[in-house]
Amino acid sequence: MDAVFGIDLGTTNSCIATIGEDGLPQVIKNLDDEFTTPSVVFYDEGNEYYVGKEAKSGMSVEVDRIVAFIKREMSNKDFNRTIDGKKISPVDVSALILKKVVDDANEQRSYDGLPPIHKAVITVPAYFGNMECELTKQAGRIAGLEVLDLLNEPTAAALSYGTNGLEGKTFLIYDLGGGTFDVSIMRMKNGELNTLSTNGDHHLGGVDWDTSLLDYVFMRNNLDVTYEDIKEERESGKMLLAAENCKKNLSKSEKASFKLVYKRKQYITEISRDVFEELTSELLEKTVDIIHHAIKISREPNVKIDEVILVGGSSYMPMVKKRLQREFSCPIRLDNLEPDRAVAKGAALHAAKLVGNTSPKVFIGTDLASRSYGVRCYDNAEDKRYVANVIKRTDDMIYQGTHNFCTISDGQTEVLVAIYENISEKDAIDLGKCTLVDEKKLVWGFPVEKGTPVIVHVSRSSDSTVRIWGECQGKRVDFIIKYKGMYSEQEIENMRKELETKRV
């Protein structure tokens, strides 16, 4: 039977797992003998790449040759990084990270005479839209993988727990990683896993704790700077690593020392866990607010949480469990102290199920969409344009609906139907918070009175493809919202072949 794999392509760290002979998921260590690999790429002057721990250590010397936190940029159309005159895209960088994780695992497997890795499930954040998903798949293919499926990270984390104590429960997955925070509320009933709500902040994670700590150390040593002021400077990477180390030490001990080198001078600062917790308490409170919003927008109003599951490396910080314990009177679980591996393990279980290697006790039921879509409207009273959502991310995945709009002036012979994407669950949203997807003219060709109905129909299928069509005076325009990746089939194949010959 084909071996299959689950890969957690993380913002800060990535991890690969498979199903062991005992039928349980197990993480494959990298060549540094570690369970996770930093999602950091270093481009050297000789057109070679280094990924992982080696690349991360380069952060201390050559910030301008390092790419980190690339997952946050997956949907950023304005992402603009050039190294040695070569433009790089989030897909290229993600492909290199995947290749490193797979190559290392292949080498470990080769000692046991096992064949190379080919088929895998890759996990994506619940907030990824169709576009980011398509780009992630392309990255996987460039790395030489057959991407069996993409799986939401919180679903993967829940799968890794199996039926283990979760049957019949409504639980909240709190995923605080290095650069992102995600929360999902899920329920398992008769082995079926359903998502009731998702929410998150994609610019909130461990790195914010690191920069707060660094700013505090600057302050304690009367250095009149903040991380924001020095972040472009060469030394900044080294300082951030020192902050991260100190933070991790504070997870283990009540006190830690921070060794800062700034302008060639060394400053040693003793920090207690209490102080660290106090200076980062606002960040933690942000995660609590996000949880409350997730509960508020849940498909089941006032949903009661029976259990909280902590995943993501930043959940190792004792303040997380402590704070959540105050908020919820239910059990708070930290997966055998391995929150950074739960997602990859769940992905491996899903991969095994897809190829028929196992008959799982848990299966995935309804999922939630990650994006809302609306049409651009004009508010006469306020004299401003806004977006009226016609399908929301909180609506059922399989959805059909009709919305009534109208023409805004006498004598109109056409309307411009403009479709916008957003992450809001509200009916009306500022135009500035939405991204234009497509616009088309709906022309009927003869003048009609102001207020003539324009009907917008919408449907969403289980694979999250959204269809929207507008109708007026017997004419219609159609939109299908399904993204293509950024590279053609031929380009992917060429890139795959080029990368195949390289060892990252």
Tell me the CA end-to-end span of the chain in Å, nearest whole number: 29
Nearer to ligand AMP, 58 or 312 (CB): 312
Q: What is the largest CA-CA distance in the chain?
A: 77
Cα–Cα distance list, 292 to 195, 197, 284 (Å)? 16, 11, 13
State which residue, 5 or 316, has the beta carbon closest to ligand AMP.
Answer: 316
Tell me how far the alpha carbon of residue 22 is from its chain's centroid: 31
Q: Which is nearer to ligand AMP, 36 or 170 (CB)?
A: 36
Q: Binding of ligand AMP at residue 144 (CB under 6 A)?
A: no
| Helix ranges, 221-371 (H) | 227-230, 236-252, 273-279, 281-296, 318-327, 342-354
Under the criterion CB under 6 A, does residue 153 sit at the interface with ligand AMP? no
| Contacting residue, 58, 125, 129, 177, with ligand AMP by CB under 6 A | 177
The verdict on 341 binding ligand AMP (CB under 6 A) reads no
Helices (H) and strands (E) in the chain, counts: 12, 28
> Given the complex with ligand AMP, which of 137 and 247 has the nearer CB atom?
247
The reply to whether 208 sits near ligand AMP by the rule CB under 6 A is no
178, 10 contact by CB (below 8 A): yes
Residue 247 found at the interface with ligand AMP (CB under 6 A)? yes
Q: Which H helix or E strand runs over 471?
A: strand 466-472
- Asked if 414 and 444 touch (Cβ cutoff 8 Å), the reply is yes
Residues 6+ apart with CB under 8 A from 474: 444
By three-state DSSP, how is residue 29 classified?
coil
Minimum distance of ligand AMP from residue 312's CB (angstroms)? 4
Selected range binding ligand AMP among 88-96, 151-159, 183-191, 241-249, rule: CB under 6 A = 241-249
* Residue 15 vs 297, nearer CB to ligand AMP: 15
Other beta carbons within 10 angstroms of residue 488's beta carbon come to 11
Least distance from C-beta 428 to ligand AMP, angstroms? 35
- Residue 72 or 353: the one with the smaller Cβ distance to ligand AMP is 72
Say whether residue 178 binds ligand AMP (CB under 6 A): yes
Tokens of 202: 């994609």
User: Is residue 200 a contact residue for ligand AMP (CB under 6 A)?
Assistant: no
For residue 340, state whether it binds ligand AMP (rule: CB under 6 A): yes
Report if residue 473 touches ligand AMP, rule: CB under 6 A: no
Region from 139-147, 200-208, 393-401, 415-423 binding ligand AMP, contact rule CB under 6 A? 200-208
Binding of residue 470 to ligand AMP (CB under 6 A): no
Pick from 108, 6, 96: which is nearest to 51 by CA?
Answer: 96
Contact between 422 and ligand AMP by CB under 6 A: the answer reads: no
The CA distance from 121 to 128, in Å, is 15
Using CB under 6 A as the binding rule, whether residue 152 contacts ligand AMP is answered as no
Q: Binding to ligand AMP by residue 57, rule CB under 6 A? A: no
Q: Which is nearer to ligand AMP, 175 or 421 (CB)?
A: 175
Stretch of 115-123, 245-253, 279-287, 366-374 contacting ligand AMP, by CB under 6 A: 245-253
Closest chain position to ligand AMP (CB): 206
**Which stretch in 9-17, 227-235, 478-486, 493-501 sits in contact with ligand AMP by CB under 6 A?**
9-17
The sign of the torsion formed by the CA atoms of 272, 277, 279, 280 equals positive
CB of 250 to ligand AMP, least distance (A): 7
Q: Which residues contact 349 (CB under 8 A, 6 or more apart)?
A: 6, 19, 25, 159, 160, 162, 358, 360, 362
Residue 12 makes contact with ligand AMP by CB under 6 A: yes
Q: Does 206 bind ligand AMP (CB under 6 A)?
A: yes
**Would strands 372-379 and 384-391 be described as parallel, antiparallel, or unpaired?**
antiparallel
Closest of 338, 362, 339, 342 to residue 352, by C-alpha: 362
Least separation, in Å, of the C-beta of 205 and ligand AMP? 6
Q: Is 207 one of the binding residues for ligand AMP (CB under 6 A)?
A: yes
Contact track, ligand AMP, 300-319, x by CB under 6 A? ------------xxx-xx--
Structural tokens at position 381: 């009273």
Asked if residues 350 and 380 have their Cβ atoms less than 8 Å apart, the reply is: no
| Count of residues of this chain found to bind ligand AMP when the rule CB under 6 A is applied | 20
Tell whether residue 227 is a contact of ligand AMP (CB under 6 A): no
User: Per the structure block, which two tokens stand in for 135?
Assistant: 């780009």
Cα distance between residue 268 and residue 345, in whole Å: 40
- Judged by the rule CB under 6 A, the positions of this chain that interact with ligand AMP are 10-13, 36, 177-178, 205-207, 244, 247-248, 251, 312-314, 316-317, 340
